[in-house]
Structure 1
Amino acid sequence: MRTIADTLLENNISWKYYGEGWKTFVTHPSTSVYCNICNPFLYETAIMSNPTLVAAHLQDTPNLYSDIAHGTLPAVSFVKPGGLLDGHPSSSKFGLYEGFVHKIIDSVQANPALWASTAIFITTDEGGGYYDSGYIQPVDFFGDGPRIPLIVVSPYSRGGRVVHDYSDHVSLVKFIERNWSLGHITSRSRDNLPNPVELPASPYVPTNAPAIGDLFSAFQFPPAKQSAADNGNEGAAGMLPF
């Protein structure tokens, strides 16, 4: 199965998946805090059968902090904390996850050149079973599910407001594809869904369902940057969905 990694590789767009505990997972998996089921690229034959790709694109969080400090982050970065910091109640606390995120944001903002072209997306994988009365859209056979947090941190994000576009984890993929003018992963993947059209009286409920947003409504780029982003030339050059 193809992933967004294939699209990025085919278009020479740099990317990395930084997973905390990767180094110990490779050598002593039974003692590592690494979350193997959280890394989609770990299950793609085209990636894992190529040692060069593995070394270049699957790395640990010390590599993340080094790349931030030296301004060498790839264009697209995925970051996943280990089991002790991921906020899951069985092994962690959400305050520890917040601290993990806070450290990364502070590090990026300490590098003005990097901060000027970076968008950080902070989210979780699910809601922990808590009830949510929000609208759930039947986007395909597999779902969707209850709402989860998504916070956008960027010089161009519209701070202090809630974006009411209906989005999904795949909206992160749609953001990448729009920002770099890329095609869909496959002809049947969820990133083929259109952006939602919603009425003011019914936020979150697309009139053109099934539809999911590409997260661009969370930003307010200057006109020149907005045009460049739509042409795949500028915009959010570094993306860190957590």
Structure 2
Amino acid sequence: ANAQPTGDVCFASAPQTVQMAGRNIGDLLNDKAISWGSFEGGFNLQTVNPNGTTGCMRSHTNPISGMLIADYNGQYTPFQYYPQSSNLAHTRPADVSEIGHPGPANHEYDLDDLLAAANANNLPAVSYVKAVRYQTGHAGGISDPLNEQMFLVQTINALEKTRQWKSMAIVIAFDDSDGDYDHQMSPIFNGSTSPLDALSGMGICGSGDPSLGHAELRCGYGPRLPLLVISPYARPNSVDHTITDLTSITRFIEDNWSLSRIGGGSFDAIAGQLTNLFDFTGHHRTPPLFLKPDTGEPSH
């Protein structure tokens, strides 16, 4: 579970690394020549932080926990695990015009490149964005909701001021609950008959008939998590009750650009759609909302 990407220069001596096979959403976008990029906090090894750290040792101190936290973690960069979409040497893009397109950086960039591209009106059609670790909202002293809020508000405020905002949709998703479970069990969309599962009985998860064929040991869905959409096309003051998961975002990308499905057991094949979160009729456009990064209150 904690394996780093094989070959990443920042984890050459990691005790456990892994490389993924198969295709990812980047491959599907490349097939249709759709611009895309993955923007990871701490990815640029040439940056020197205010505390003097640089390279793979770039770090920040979490001001709430007091812990010194490395900016970069290969586990946060999913495209680093695939040989066709990795940038294991953390090569920089030649210039802002490369961002989103084939080049030395291979679609893998630093978080700082996100706003540089947006301000140059060159933001990729599809962008994956991850904060430096102390602002990811991860529990255990690594981050916290207030540091996460600072990152989200500062980033979204900046994006809302760009020319590309009028056609933008920002999806905020979380990868685990960190133990903050709620009272409602999620429905079982993919069963499992693995002896390592024991949800409905020993060796049984749900009906025991995996919806995705070979996708054993993936009993799901797991605990409920927030998913937010911020966009001029978002339905205002609305809560959608469609059952979705993280691959609903993948499905939205596939459907919006008429891509194929990833296949190979990916949950995008059974994921609920995000379309009910939007109003594409042209009857309404949600105006931008600017917040104060430190309090989350509206900024007038």
- TM class, shorter-length: 0.7 to 0.9
Q: Work out the percentage of aligned pairs sharing the same amino acid.
A: 33
Q: Distance in 2 between matches of 1:214 and 1:45?
A: 29
Partner of 2:183: 133
Point out the structure with max Rg over C-alpha: 2
Q: Specify whether residues 54 and 39 from structure 1 end up closer, same or farther in structure 2 by C-alpha distance, changes over 3 A only.
A: farther
Answer yes or no: is the 8 Å Cα contact 2:87–2:106 preserved in 1. Answer: no
Match of 2:122 among 72, 95, 105: 72
Q: Which amino acid aligns with 2:187?
A: Q
* Gaps in structure 2 of 5+ consecutive residues: 1-21, 48-53, 59-69, 92-101, 191-215, 284-300
Does the alignment pair 1:215 with 2:274?
Answer: yes
Aligned residues: 205
Deviation per CA, 1:168-204: give whole Å up to 9, x if none. Answer: 00000000011111110125321112xxxxxxxxxxx
Q: Which amino acid aligns with 2:168?
A: T
| Structure-to-structure mapping, 1:73-152, within 5 angstroms | 73-89=123-139, 90-111=141-162, 113-140=163-190, 141=216, 142=218, 143-152=220-229
3-state SS of paired residue (2:29): helix
3-state SS of paired residue (2:113): helix
Moved more, 8-17 or 91-100: 91-100
**Between Structure 1 and Structure 2, which shows a larger proportion of helix residues?**
1
User: TM-score when scaled to structure 2?
Assistant: 0.64
Partner of 2:297: none
Does the alignment pair 1:44 with 2:99?
Answer: no
Q: Distance in 2 between matches of 1:42 and 1:175?
A: 22
Q: Distance in 2 between matches of 1:62 and 1:20?
A: 8
Does the alignment pair 1:14 with 2:73?
Answer: no
Q: Distance in 1 between matches of 2:161 and 2:108?
A: 25
Q: Distance in 1 between matches of 2:125 and 2:252?
A: 13
Cα-Cα RMSD:
2.2
Q: Which amino acid aligns with 1:120?
A: I
* Gaps in structure 1 of 5+ consecutive residues: 194-211, 225-242
Q: Specify whether residues 136 and 109 from structure 1 end up closer, same or farther in structure 2 by C-alpha distance, changes over 3 A only.
A: same
User: TM-score when scaled to structure 1?
Assistant: 0.78
Partner of 2:245: 168
